[in-house]
Structure 1
Amino acid sequence: MLNFDAERFLRIESGALALARPLQQLVGELLDGGARNLFFLGAGGAGRLMEPAAQLIARNGDFPVHLENAAELVAMGSANLGPQSIVVIPSLSGTTREAVAVLEYAQERGAKVIALTAHADSPVAQQADVAFTAFAEDDTSSESFYLQSLVIALALLNRLGRFDGFEAALAELEQLPRLLLGVKEAFEPTAAAIAESIRDDDYHIVTGAGPSWTEAWYYGTCILEEMQWIRTRPIHASDFFHGTLELVEPGVSVLLFKGEDASRPLAERVERWVPSVTDRLTVIDTADFDLPGISPEIRALIPHVLIATVLERVSAHLEVLRDHPLTTRRYYRRIDY
């Protein structure tokens, strides 16, 4: 595979899942200690990656969960954040200024802060009440954060009596790193073809529903925009027909991500309509991926993980075809105002 280290990938994603038992234990201890709500408070893309876990908790239990923009919460506050709050802050570098600020804000209000970082010596990890470190880098962090937050969600629901299959689910998830590697290998020719197809586009509409929507937003914003300087319009599939459809013209590229969860019909509606206007529809469907040993129930929980792992292969080809390394930035040194 192009620009890819298989053993490194396996180490990183296995490292994320190695935190499952400690995360489960901590969730139990905090609930036993009287925790009454949970806040996911990340900055930028890392914060957005928490969305599927937050929605899983909200839709399957009655434990209050809040997915907030870290900077906005510090600016505007929340009456729900206090001594009986669990706060989860994901930060790959552990140095993001908004992550540090919201950590300090949460601790000032007595909340228990859990950090998920890739670097144990970072400010976020050092200042958190409890820090979990699983090394990752940009090309592997999505799957890592998705899996860590999924474990938190399932552990919490299990402890509250809203999910009885935690042990079975964990046994399946522990198979994922090697299965994801197999998915990448099988997808490599498709990834190369997609990259070739979109290499010259300067604009994409990116859409999906359910957990796949989170990855649609993330890929459009944090990869195509931030790392390739390509304009995108991420839009939830259920909102596609409430405005964005008017932007579709012949030749406009639409990227559609489909999972195997209950939101699938929302994506299928977009899939049926778009070809009536443009022939530039690219569909990534997790149902096409071979995952031996993974049950339909778990497949429905991980479309964002699967789509992230194959999009990494698209990006690896895209940066070469466009002669634009994913690490190239314009303005990062100019945003500390």
Structure 2
Amino acid sequence: MLGFNEPEFLSQLASAVALRPQIEELVDRLVDGGFDNLYLVGAGGTYAQMWPYERLARQRSTLDVRAVIAAELVAADEKALGERSVAIVTSVSGTTEDVVRAIEFCKSKGAYTVGFTGYPDSPIAQNVDLALLTEPKTWPFDMQMLLFMGRLLSRRGEFDGYEKFAAEFDDIPRILLEVSKQAEPVAEAFADAHKDSDYYFLIGGGNLWGFTYLYSMCILEEMQWLRTTRVHSAEFFHGSLELLEENTSVLVFQGEDEARALTDRAEAFAKRISKDVTVFDTKDYPLDGISPEFRGLLAPLVLDTVMSRVSKHLERVRDHSLDLRRYYRVMDY
């Protein structure tokens, strides 16, 4: 596979899964001690990655769980943030300045802070009350967040079957490796056909809305300097659909939760207008070893794996490095 380091891929994912005992111990301690609300704090892609878990909590729990942008959390000074709050942060590098400031702010309010990163000496790891570490550059954070939120909901009596889920989840490195292999020819063909596309219209819903936002902003825009429009499938018929034309490159991210019908509806309409609609559907991937009732939870992880192959092939056909930046971490702001 193009630009794919299989041992590193497996090792990084395994390091996230291996955090399960520490995550469960943390959750048990928090539940036993009692807390009132949970803040899922991020910036850019790590903020978007929090949305599925805020949503999962809203669907299953009465606990107050909020996904928040790090910089806005500090600026807004929410009154609910206090000594009975828990704040979870994630950062690949452990150096995201807005997140570091948010940690300091949360601690100043008396909140308990937890950080997921791969660098023990980073500002984030050094400033949180508890750092849970993977191998460097481990991505995405859905693995840690699934285990954290699953255990939390289970302890609250709001997630039946967590132990079964967690046991199956132990095999996620192998499962996602198979997803990568299956996605490779799809990614290559897509990139070859879209070498000259300079604008993409992205549609997603349910627990894939965060990934839709992330792939649009963090990959196509930030890493490839391509123009995009992103719209939630439930909001598809309000505004953005007027941008559709016959040659618009439309990407549809389809999952396996209750939003599937909404995304189907948006896809059907898009295909009436555009001749260039590509659907990336998690149902196309077997996920051997995962029970049917848990497949929907894994949609963000599966699509991240699939689209990482697309990204590598876009890098190839466009001769534009995914590491190239003009402004982000290049210019001061």
**Normalising by structure 1, what TM-score?**
0.97
1:207–1:217 CA contact under 8 A, matched in 2? no
Take 1:50 and 1:116, find their aligned partners in 2: how far apart are those partners?
A: 12
Local SS of the residue matching 2:166: helix
Identify the match of residue 182 of structure 1 among 161, 170, 178: 178
Partner of 1:2: 2
1:186 Cα deviation from its structure 2 partner: 1.4
One-letter amino acid matched to 2:200: H
Shift of 1:33: 1.1
Alignment partner, residue 80 of structure 1: 80
Shift, 1:280, TM fit = 0.7
Q: How does 1:70-219 map to 2 (within 5 A)?
A: 70-137=70-137, 141-142=139-140, 145-219=141-215
The Cα offsets for residues 25-55 of structure 1, whole Å up to 9 and x where unpaired, read as: 1111012112111000111111211111111
The one-letter amino acid of 1:20's match is R
- Give the Cα separation in 2 of the matches to 1:141 and 1:333: 19
In structure 2, how many angstroms separate the alpha carbons of the residues matched to 1:326 and 1:186?
Answer: 22
**Structure 1 residue ranges (4+ consecutive) displaced by more than 3 angstroms after TM superposition:** none
Q: Out of 44-53 and 98-107, give the one that drifted further.
A: 44-53
CA distance in 1 between counterparts of 2:105 and 2:190 reads 43
Q: Which residue of 1 aligns with 2:264?
A: 268
Q: Aligned residue for 2:236? A: 240
- Indicate if the aligned counterparts of 1:195 and 1:318 stay in contact, CA closer than 8 A: yes
Q: 1:211·1:302 contact (CA, 8 Å) conserved in 2?
A: no
Distance change in 2, residues 1:334/1:5 (3 Å): closer
* Deviation readout 1:196-215 (Å, 9 max, x if unpaired): 12221111111111111111
Q: Name 1:299's counterpart in structure 2.
A: 295
Aligned to 2:51: 51
SS of 2:89's equivalent in the other structure is strand
Letter in 1 for 2:57: I
The answer (yes or no) to whether the contact 2:44–2:214 under 8 Å persists in 1 is: no
Q: How many pairs are equivalent?
A: 333
Q: Is the 8 A contact 1:212 1:258 kept in 2?
A: yes
2:221 is the alignment partner of 1:225: yes
Superposed CA deviations along residues 208-236 of structure 1, whole A, max 9, x for unmatched, are 11111111111110000000000111111
- Structure 1 gap ranges (5+): none
What one-letter code is carried by the residue in structure 2 that aligns with 1:56?
Answer: L
Amino acid at match of 1:259: G
Contact residue 157 and residue 163 of structure 1 kept, 8 A: yes
SS of equivalent residue, structure 1 residue 147: helix
- Paired position in structure 1 for 2:28: 28
Matches within 5 A, 1:248-263: 248-263=244-259
Q: CA RMSD in A?
A: 1.1
CA distance in 2, matches of 1:334, 1:7: 31
